[in-house]
Homo-oligomer: A and B are copies of this chain.
Amino acid sequence: MIIHLKKNTSAEIAQKVAEEVKALHYKKEDFYVLITGSGLKEVPSSIEVHVDQAWPMKNDLQLASRSYMDKKREVKIGDVTIGGDTNNVILIGGPCSVESEGQITSATELMTSLQLSTLRGGCYKPRTSPYSFQGMGLDGLKLLDKMRTNHGVNVITEVRDATQIEEVIEYSDVIQVGAKAMYDQGILRACAKTQKPVLIKRGFGSTLQEFAQAAEFVLSGGNENVILCERGIRTFETGTRFTLDLCGVAWLKEYTNLPIVLDPSHAMGYAYGIADLSKACLAMGVDGLLIEVHPNPKEAKSDAAQQLNYDEFGKLVGELSHLAKALNYNLV
């Protein structure tokens, strides 16, 4: 159950009430929000006097649910806003991994030349083998920071595990919680304590309900700037790398109030399908796309098969602009 306490409730009383109903709580503007397990269906009479409004909930999809807040939330990334009624679609591009200053500068210039605001690039790569390229780490983060300063782009980069979360929070505009870290409470709880936007990727073996509940870890700590990112689930089909779950996106749009970004690059795993899938995602109505582009995909140190080259990316941006115009969306 979600409970809004009355506006003049003190911090001590909020704390006391929260303990009484075993709730998490945070302060939002000038009132406190309490969230109990969804088993609680009625406000106990002992706390009624402090309660302004309460929402009993079907299950633990609570703060992120349409039952609580029927309007899609807005999230601000630098000076760009997505969600709400903006009709903005953020097109995030960049390489899988930051590999060198030359490479990331080149990608940044590509983005700015196309009037796109937000650059991606991984520094801590969650590889499945210890014997492959693991990312540039802190050196990579500093290169991203340089791009931010020198070129005015926003940057999004991935945290691999709880040991680098503070660094990633410091150097990025959007913290990306990767698919393999979706359940990582060390990361999620740290993200809850900042106000930076957090983009949570769906685990490729995770249900929609679990995915939405990962957002609850961040929201219930007081950070309302959460974006969900579908990036393909693992199925029996191995002709493509993963299976992009657009039925799932329809579910997320129906039941959650969070902006949604799609990552066709990781879902497909091959450059040839990215353009078609990007158009499908845009036409469906989402808040953003995450597309991998590399100056020389064949030489990429990770995900070589799925990164577009600059020509392919430029052509795709043109097609998406045309489609966005027809559908009354703004590519940003």
Q: What 1/0 flags go to A207-242 for Cβ under 8 Å of B?
A: 111100110110010000000000011111111111
A 230-257 to B, binary, CB cutoff 8 A, 1 in contact else 0: 0011111111111111111111011000
Give the size of the chain A interface in residues (CB under 8 angstroms): 78
Q: How many copies does the complex hold?
A: 4
Stretch at the interface among A83-91, A101-109, A123-131: A123-131
Known: A161-B186, A239-B208. A279 touches B273 (CB 8 A): no
Contact B248 A246 (CB under 8 A): no
A316 smallest CB distance to B (angstroms) = 13
CB of A109 to closest CB in B, whole Å = 29
**Candidates B210, B270, B279, B326; contact of A128 at CB < 8 Å:** B210
Cβ of A80 under 8 Å from chain B:
no
Pick from B205, B240, B327: contact of A236, CB under 8 Å: B205
- Identify which of B185, B214, B216, B250 contacts A161 (C-beta below 8 A): B185
Q: State A183–B206 Cα separation when bound (angstroms).
A: 14
- Whether A253 lies near B235 (C-beta < 8 A) is no
CB pair B250 A240 closer than 8 Å: yes
